[in-house]
Amino acid sequence: MKLDRKRQTQLLRYAAHLGALIPFALLLFDWQTDGFGPDPVREITLRTGKAAIILLVASLAVTPLKLIFGWNQLHPLRRNLGLYAFGYVSLHLLTFVWLDYGLSWALIQEAIFEKWYALVGFGAFLILLPLALTSSQWSMKKLGKRWTKLHKWVYLAGVLAVLHYILLVKNTYTQPFIFASILAVLLLVRLAPIKQQVIRWRRSMKKKKPVSMSANP
């Protein structure tokens, strides 16, 4: 049975909520069962950070996927994915200032200004904070055109988040560079010349679709 677009959007929204909450559920489970291994603080830091980047990149991918494939039903997911990403960023920061540095302002300040990964990550958080606070429909109407300009800063936040991940894990994993590659592709699609090429390609593909023949003679 073929689902209409409204039903597809509803099911995608449920799937997005479920997928976004799974990492948090696993964190709670491992917290209760001591399943974080010998270095729980590092494990929580990596897992919250990874969930944040995945969701942030997923939210940034919505518009390019709409542009390339015409998947308009994905559009409502962008806001939810972005807010979940901010939630995990907040947990990531809380792990850093509470579990890792014991809420010691002197140590936190020293880390932020002496460790590049901490400074870059904190910069990404500061950018995402006003975006999360102005994510409502009321804020969109109140800010008008300024809302669009403000929320374009999410791309810089994405770049800083990936850079933070690379600096944090250094050369241990290849995953940060995979995220960097995906983000680079998403940013390239947003460039005006490439965007126009994609639009022209989609129009040409629509023209090539076969026209259905009438059953009447």
Give 146-168 pLDDT, tens digit per residue.
Answer: 998 999 899 999 999 999 988 88
Question: Taking the mean position of all CA atoms in its chain, how far away is CA 114?
Answer: 27
> Which residue from 32, 60, 196, 190 is spatially nearest to 128, judged by alpha carbons?
60
Q: Please provide the distance, in angstroms rounded to a whole number, between the alpha carbons at the two ends of the chain.
A: 29
Predicted structure pTM score:
0.86
Q: Which residue has the higher pLDDT, 84 or 4?
A: 84
Domains of the chain: 7-202 (1.20.120)
Distances (CA, A) of 126 to 62, 131, 151: 23, 9, 13
210 confidence band (pLDDT: 50, 70, 90): low
Give 11-68 pLDDT, tens digit per residue.
Answer: 889 999 999 999 999 999 999 998 888 889 989 998 999 999 999 999 999 988 888 8
Give 96-125 pLDDT, tens digit per residue.
Answer: 999 888 888 888 888 888 888 899 999 999
Q: What angle do CA 77, 82, 83 make, to 5 degrees?
A: 105
